[in-house]
Amino acid sequence: MKHLRLTTFLVAAAMATGATTGAMAQQDGGRLDLIVQPEPPGLMLGLVQNGPTQMVAGQIYESLLRYNKDLEPQPSLAKEWEIAEDGMTYTFKLQEGVTWHDGEPFTSADVVFSTVFLQDNHARFRGAFSHVESVEAPDDLTIVIKMKEPYGPFINAFEAGSMPIVPKHIYEGTDYATNEMNNTPIGTGPYKFVEWEKGSFIHLTKNEDYYIDGLPHIDDLYYRVVPDAASRAVAFETGEVQVLPGGAVENWDVKRLTEMEGVCSTSDGWEFFAPHAWMWLNNREGPTSNKLFRQAVMYAMDREFVKDVVWNGYGTVPTGPVSSKTNFYSDDVPQYPHDPEKAKELLAEMGYDGTPVRLLPLPYGETWQRWAEAVKQNLEEVGIKVDIDSADVAGWNEKTANWDYDMAFTYLYQYGDPALGVARNYVESQIKKGSPWNNVEGYVNPEMDKMWEAAALEPDNAKRQEMYTTIQKQIVEDVPVAWLLEIEFPTIYRCNVKNLITTGIGLNDGLRDAWIEE
């Protein structure tokens, strides 16, 4: 658990995140080619928040804060910040001398405007800022946020993808969605947009006027669009691209590529997201509505095997709903080792009649297909009949959002705090047809609901931990969903690319500090 409360101004010593030490050896210049997969629909981060957009636009746009791998806040557009003792006021001091890529000065008015802009366009922002009373700018370089109630995870809400600061002078008074400048995004970040040849590449170039002297180091970034996974592996092998972000190649290519000479890999840089994979078990109907059946599913699965074989050993088998990388994790929960006999006993106890269950894999490529097949085999070993039901991404959205499934694979980000990324999957108020990113399984536990709410609003971290520990224990007992894996997506890169992953969101904002050794 990380300490989040600060009572005096934090003066972060000159951006030194530990990652930028050893400045002597750093070299400027060069060009870096990275894969972006799939091609993003747009780069205006305030309007589009999908993964590829965040990865590219995270170099163009910035937020008030960044987060290191321990999820501690670091300065970004805000150089200092203060949280009042009662958790009701957040004061940010902005960096001086920051300009937008078109030369206009950046001020606190842009921050205030961004909160208005995002209120209309960003679901996650709306959620976090629903606890905010007002956002004010007493002067050009100060932002004061007053809260309606103390909200523990609020300090985690200022990551670039969660709250990108957008230029007021371009968007104020326009129709945001159709503003022509969306195609040539203007931010404050270390790289500027140059060109996007649809279907081929996105070209960013060094922001010479960046407000941190000496950064960034690399002259040009090319995000290459290569739609076929095997071709992406070839692109890396031949040296056309030097960086494969997590998930860019199929898992069976990972081992071969990382064993090549001069190739490095790391699973760092996903701490903030902590992608957590599970199967929704439909709690409303069919065998999966029975708790004994759901527990049997947990015992039947050999999750270590999947981790070792399907995921090449990357990742961690989760103990419950909260990732071990997320704040307030607790391992004091019931355990579900691979135990087919125990699973059979539970099925006998519930009187399972052999009703087949439909299993919906995630349509994200071969890895996920194989994963579903491994689960099917495990379940059939204990006598559960499984039919694999397939769909493309849109069909998967449709089926899960409308609860038309028995078991369905998914994975979701946790954003550093259970209140931001975990609660939404287990509280009754988040049972909403039409979206696949909430309590899709239909788990109802009013007692836990109260505790989730209290924990989010509790200013004292020790008390929050206590409540989250209780919640985790109870939910793991009930098995509303079957937790599969804390996913680790290895980033594969040529070893002469240095300082690539320095924050909790990795490549999404890492190019600021990266450099290439000639």
Partner 1 sequence: MQIAGTILSRLFKAAITLLAIAILNFFLVHAAPGDPATVLAGEAGAADEQMIADLKARFGLDQPFHIQLARYVGNIVTLDLGYSFRQGQPVLDLILDRLPATLILTLTAFWISLLAGVALGVAASARVGKFTDTLITSVALLFYATPLYWAALMAVLVFSVQLGWLPGFGYETVGSGFSGLARAWDILKHLILPALTLGLFFMAVYMRMTRASMLEVAQQDFVKTARAKGLAPATIRRRHILRNALLPVVTLAGLQAGQLVGGAVLTETVFAWPGIGRLMFESLAARDYNTILGVFLVSAAMVIVFNILTDIVYRLIDPRIGHKA
Give the E-state strand segments of 294-448 in sequence order: 357-360, 386-388, 407-412
Q: Quick one: DSSP state of residue 95?
A: P
Between 204 and 375, name the residue whose CB sits nearer to partner 1.
Answer: 204
Q: Which of 409, 516, 34, 396 is nearest to 246 (CA)?
A: 34
Residue 29 binds partner 1, judged by CB under 8 A: no
- Angle, to 10 degrees, between the axis of helix 446-457 and the axis of helix 461-478? 160
Is residue 231 within the footprint of partner 1 (CB under 8 A)?
A: yes
Among 72, 104, 220, 453, the residue binding partner 1 under the rule CB under 8 A is 220
Site string for partner 1, 381-400 (x = CB under 8 A): ----------xxxxx-xxx-
Q: Please report whether residue 182 would count as binding partner 1 according to CB under 8 A.
A: yes
For residue 346, the minimal CB distance to partner 1 (Å) is: 33
Q: Which of 97, 103, 173, 199 binds partner 1 (CB under 8 A)?
A: 199
Dig out the tokens for 329 from the structure: 């994790």
Q: How far is the CB of 436 from partner 1 (least distance, A)?
A: 6
Which span sits near partner 1 by CB under 8 A: 21-29, 224-232, 258-266, 465-473?
Answer: 224-232
* C-beta of 137 vs 277, nearer to partner 1: 277
Q: How far is the CB of 123 from partner 1 (least distance, A)?
A: 4
Which is closer to partner 1, CB of 14 or CB of 123?
A: 123
Q: Compute CA distances 7 → 77, 328, 498, whole Å.
A: 20, 21, 35
126: contact with partner 1 by CB under 8 A: yes
Lookup: tokens for 95: 């960096």
Any idea what the Cα angle at residue 20 is, between residues 15 and 22, rounded to 5°? 130
* Neighbouring C-beta atoms of residue 312, cutoff 10 Å: 17
Minimum distance between the CB of residue 142 and partner 1, rounded to whole angstroms?
A: 30
In the complex with partner 1, the residue whose CB is nearer, 36 or 347, is 36
Instruction: Pick between residue 175 and residue 213 the one whose CB is nearest to partner 1.
Output: 175
Helix, strand, coil % over all residues of the chain, rounded to 5: 30, 20, 50
Cα 497 to chain center, whole Å? 24
> To the nearest 10°, the Cα dihedral for 434, 437, 438, 439?
90
CB of 274 to partner 1, least distance (A): 12
Contacts of 119 (CB under 8 A, 6+ apart): 125, 126, 129
Rank residues 222 and 280 by Cβ distance to partner 1 and give the closer one.
222
Stretch 36-75 residues interacting with partner 1 (CB under 8 A): 38-39, 41-42, 44, 48-51
Least Cβ distance, residue 234 to partner 1 (angstroms): 5
Angle at alpha carbon of residue 314, lines to 437 and 293, rounded to 5°: 55
Cβ distance to partner 1 smaller for residue 41 or 138: 41
286 near partner 1, judged by CB under 8 A: no
3-class DSSP state of 374: helix
The string of DSSP letters for 277-337 reads EEEEE-SSSSGGGSHHHHHHHHHH--HHHHHHHTTTT-SB--SSSS-TTSTT----S----
From the CB of 201, what's the least distance to partner 1, in Å?
5
Total binding residues toward partner 1, as defined by CB under 8 A: 58
Which 323-342 positions form the footprint of partner 1 (CB under 8 A)? Answer: none
Site residues for partner 1, window 425-444 (CB under 8 A)?
432, 434-437
- To the nearest whole angstrom, how small is the minimum distance from the Cβ of residue 293 to partner 1? 28
Cβ proximity to partner 1: between 205 and 470 the closer is 205
Shortest CA distance to 281 belongs to which of 358, 344, 355, 337?
358
What does the binding site for partner 1 look like in residue numbers (CB under 8 A)?
Answer: 31, 33, 38-39, 41-42, 44, 48-51, 120-121, 123-124, 126-127, 177-178, 182-183, 197-201, 203, 220, 222, 224-228, 230-231, 234-235, 237-238, 240, 391-395, 397-399, 401, 412-413, 424, 432, 434-437
